């Protein structure tokens, strides 16, 4: 029994090591000076330059225009992540509500049309999407960053399946209780979907936060740069001397990781509930 | 409180399936009507048409003198109790009770008063702040009933409200529903497939089969004078024995036995004969009327159900547990307790010998083989 326990723990420890070690290495390395990193490579020891590196990354204006700071990039990423997740949830809930609860002509056809867009990720339609946004003069705006990403089937599909599992009697009881379609949606369906919303919010926030290709294409104005994009930029632009600012790149990478981790930690309980238990 | 009139109501689904056809029921103010029938007989569809959850294909439903065919369920002034309770899982008991009133813009003070009253009636006060998932099945059912009561509607509609409860709870909730309906005096329409529930609750029973009304009547009338073989076999437990017999003058040939009815039945020849299990008596002497070959016995404690054969027809008799049973015996029945039905149509044949005093049965084992 104990032997098996020990073995279990070894496996778990190995898993933890594989997952955490790169993060630790990145964090430790980020506390060294750029020159040290250039000379010695990655480091596992504390470099002692934590405050100055992170302070510099967050507040020093950089880039060609000298207007962008790390904090600004974090802010942009947050807007993209939250806007994307919230917009997607609202859109897909409304779409799923229409598909499940209203019998309109060609309803099933519409659902399958939405569903097949699963086969067309952003990357496939990226050129036409860019063209449309460009013509609408939405490049270098938050709207342009967020809106084209919203339309996709995953959320609609999730909510459709969930709404279908809500017992029909609830709708009937609500109808007899005098709740119209809007009231039923807001008073009954939305609260029932709380855990689903939380789960989808996490997934979508992380997805939006990690967007790289689309922001790269959409934003040429540095004030709209997102963090993920900034990390790439740092090695190209923020070259103070001949040595790239490795420490700052690592610091940004660590910073870029924090918000999604925090979101997951905060919503974890709901997230697991939403995916495993149907709370009815 | 109001009367409900159901006039020539039919439900025809897309594709031409008729679920309910030409149903007429007059429900008097304050009456407790039970719609009973096997699954698929259209009883729930009928109820849902009254509620407004299904459209009425043909005919007319009036509640309190107002035709409601085209009126929204919310405006029909009815309340419904569902089989799976249909409580809002994210709301507390209080919110569940108050939701319908809130949507009708009832003043807060009145909502509080009505919820408090309903909670007192249903003994729900300790649970008002709980969510439905923290309640037992019986408590949930009471909340569902409370949700109907607080609205003070002109009619309650019950859609198999007790089917999800265990047997013991079902009996006590049955009593509670009856008591409650007596107390508030609201016209009620109640759907069930359980004939026992129907018998115990109803002021009048409506027996449905295949979307049509088989019989409407007070429970005991329906029990003692079933209008068709369907009603005879559906109401009562165990089901009425229906066997084929032949009438010759005032004599009934039933399997190997010949029973003297003492009077003529207004039909002759082949009939379907109905015998209630509890009307059958064990005939001690071997000269008895219906030779009965016992197949197996179900012990119920207070009585035993004896399954066996009379001639080549199956028969169940409800007998006292105290009398020892031989392998073969004979049964007797008072002729007044016999029911006759037309073999082809299944319709009841009334005859003058019914429900008079007990008549001795003449044994005639040699009559028919």
Give me the domains of chain B, ranges plus CATH numbers.
Answer: 4-228 (3.40.50.300), 238-349 (2.40.50.140)
Q: Which neighbouring-strand residues pair with B156?
A: B79, B188
Most A CBs within 10 Å: which of B54, B73, B153, as the mutation test of the A interface?
Answer: B73
- Kindly report which listed range (A83-97, B109-123, B351-365) carries the lowest average pLDDT score: B351-365
Give me the pLDDT at residue A234, please. 63
Q: What average pLDDT does the segment B69-73 reach?
A: 92
- Across chain A, which distance is largest between two alpha carbons, in Å? 75
State how far the Cα of B304 lies from the Cα of B320, in Å rounded to an integer: 6
CB contact under 8 A, B103 and A177: yes
Chain A partners within 8 Å of B79 (Cβ)? 176
Q: Which residues of A touch B (CB under 8 A)?
A: 167, 169-170, 172-179, 183, 187-188, 191-192, 194, 279-280
The reported pLDDT for the residue numbered A235 is: 62
Q: Which of B200, B47, A47 is nearest to B56 (CA)?
A: B47
Question: DSSP secondary-structure letter at B285?
Answer: S
* Residues forming a β-bridge with B271: B245
Most B CBs within 10 Å, among A166, A171, A176, to test the B interface: A176
Residue B316 is encoded by which pair of tokens? 């169940």
Interface test with chain B among A162, A170, A173, A174, by most B beta carbons within 10 Å: A173
Tell me if A216 sits within 8 A of A229, measured CB to CB: yes
Closest CB to B74 among A169, A175, A187: A175
pTM given for the model: 0.80
Q: How far is CA B348 from CA B38, B266, B272, B338, B339, in A?
A: 20, 11, 9, 11, 8
- How many residue contacts between A and B have a Cβ separation below 8 Å? 62
A133 to chain B, minimum CA–CA distance in Å?
Answer: 41
Q: Which of A149, A157, A143, A84 is nearest to A121 (CA)?
A: A149
CA distance B122 to A231: 65
Contact B291, B330 (CB under 8 A): yes
Q: Judging by beta carbons within 10 Å of its beta carbon (0-12, 13-18, 19+), is residue B53 exposed, middle or buried?
A: buried
ipTM: 0.80
Residues 6+ apart with CB under 8 A from B305: B238, B277, B297, B298, B316, B317, B318, B319
The answer to whether the beta carbons of residues B220 and B241 sit under 8 Å apart is no
In whole angstroms, what is the distance from residue B55 CA to residue B12 CA? Answer: 10
Say if the Cβ atoms of B89 and A183 lie within 8 Å.
Answer: no
Upper half-sphere CA count for residue A155 (Cβ side, 13 Å):
28
- Summarised one tens digit per residue, pLDDT across range B197-251 is 999 999 999 999 999 999 999 999 999 999 999 999 999 888 999 999 999 888 8
Higher pLDDT, A120 or B79: B79
Percent of chain B with pLDDT over 70: 94
pLDDT at B33 exceeding the cut of 90: yes
Facing B99 at nearest CB: one of A169, A172, A177: A177
Which residues touch B175 (CB under 8 Å, ≥6 apart)? none
Per CATH, the architecture of A76-276 is what?
Answer: Orthogonal Bundle (1.10)
Q: Which chain A residues are within 8 Å of B103, Cβ to Cβ? A: 177-179, 183
Please write the tens of the pLDDT for every residue from B146-173: 999 999 999 999 999 998 888 888 998 8
Residue A214 is predicted with a pLDDT of 87
User: Is A192's CB within 8 Å of B89's CB?
Assistant: yes
pLDDT below 70 — which residues of chain A? 1-3, 62-67, 233-243, 273-280
With an 8 Å Cβ cutoff, the interface of chain B facing chain A consists of 51-53, 72-75, 78-80, 82-91, 99-100, 103-104, 147
Residue of B nearest to A171 (CA): B86
Residue B116: which pLDDT band, with cuts at 50, 70 and 90?
very high
| Residue B134: closest C-alpha in chain A | A280
Mean predicted confidence (pLDDT) in B311-320: 90
């Amino acid at each position: 029994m104990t032997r098996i326990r020990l073995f279990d723990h070894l496996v778990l420890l190995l898993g933890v090591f594989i997952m955490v070690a790169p993060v630790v290495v990145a964090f430790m390395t980020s506390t060294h000076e750029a020159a040290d990193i250039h000379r010695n490579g990655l480091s596992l020891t504390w470099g002692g330059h934590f405050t100055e590196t992170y302070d510099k990354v967050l507040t020093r204006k950089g880039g060609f225009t000298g207007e962008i700071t790390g904090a600004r990039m974090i802010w942009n990423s947050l807007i993209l992540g939250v806007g994307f997740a919230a917009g997607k949830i609202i859109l897909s809930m409304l779409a799923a509500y229409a598909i499940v609860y209203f019998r309109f002509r060609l309803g099933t056809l519409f659902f399958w049309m939405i569903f097949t867009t699963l086969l067309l990720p952003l990357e496939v339609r990226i050129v036409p999407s860019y063209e449309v946004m460009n013509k609408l003069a939405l490049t270098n705006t938050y709207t342009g960053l967020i809106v084209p990403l919203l339309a996709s089937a995953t959320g609609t599909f999730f909510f459709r399946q969930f709404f279908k599992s809500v017992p029909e009697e609830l709708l009937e009881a609500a109808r007899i209780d005098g709740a119209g379609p809007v009231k039923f949606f807001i008073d009954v369906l939305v609260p029932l979907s709380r855990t689903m919303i939380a789960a989808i919010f996490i997934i979508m926030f992380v997805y939006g936060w990690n967007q790289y290709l689309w922001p790269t294409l959409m934003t040429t104005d540095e004030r709209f740069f997102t963090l993920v994009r900034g990390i790439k930029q740092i090695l190209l632009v923020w070259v103070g001397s001949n040595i790239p600012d490795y420490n700052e790149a690592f610091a940004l990478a660590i910073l870029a990781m924090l918000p999604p981790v925090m979101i997951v930690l905060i919503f974890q309980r709901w997230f697991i509930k939403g995916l495993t238990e149907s709370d009815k | 409180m109001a009367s409900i009139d159901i006039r020539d109501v039919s439900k025809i689904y897309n594709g031409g399936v008729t679920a309910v056809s030409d149903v007429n029921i007059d429900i008097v103010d304050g009456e407790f009507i039970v719609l009973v029938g096997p699954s698929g007989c259209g009883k729930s569809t009928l109820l849902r048409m009254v509620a407004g959850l299904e459209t009425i294909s043909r005919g007319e439903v009036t509640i309190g003198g107002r035709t409601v065919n085209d009126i929204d369920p919310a405006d029909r002034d009815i309340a419904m109790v569902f089989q799976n309770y249909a409580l809002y899982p994210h709301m507390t008991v209080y919110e569940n009770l108050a939701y319908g009133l809130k949507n009708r813009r009832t003043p807060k003070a009145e909502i509080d008063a009505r919820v408090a009253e309903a909670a007192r009636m249903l003994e729900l006060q300790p649970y008002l702040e709980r969510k439905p998932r923290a309640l037992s099945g019986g408590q949930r059912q009471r909340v569902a009933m409370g949700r109907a009561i607080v609205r003070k509607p002109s009619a309650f509609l019950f859609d198999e409200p007790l089917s999800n409860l265990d047997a013991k709870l079902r009996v006590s909730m049955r009593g509670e529903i009856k008591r409650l309906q007596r107390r508030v005096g609201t016209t009620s329409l109640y759907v069930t497939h359980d004939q026992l529930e129907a018998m115990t609750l109803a002021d009048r029973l409506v027996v449905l089969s295949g979307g049509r009304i088989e019989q409407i009547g007070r429970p005991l009338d329906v029990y003692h004078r079933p209008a068709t073989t369907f009603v005879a076999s559906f109401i009562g437990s165990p089901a009425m024995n229906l066997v084929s017999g032949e009438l010759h003058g005032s004599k009934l040939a039933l399997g190997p036995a010949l029973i003297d009815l003492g009077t003529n039945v207004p039909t002759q020849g082949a009939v379907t004969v109905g015998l209630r299990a509890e009307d059958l008596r064990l005939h001690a002497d071997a000269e008895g009327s219906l030779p009965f070959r016992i197949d197996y016995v179900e012990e119920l404690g207070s009585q035993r159900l004896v399954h066996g054969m009379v001639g080549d027809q199956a028969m169940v008799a409800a007998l006292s547990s105290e009398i020892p049973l031989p392998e073969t015996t004979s049964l007797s029945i008072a002729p007044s307790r016999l029911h006759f039905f037309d073999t082809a149509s299944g319709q009841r044949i009334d005859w003058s010998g019914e429900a008079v005093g007990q008549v001795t049965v003449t044994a005639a084992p040699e009559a028919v083989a």
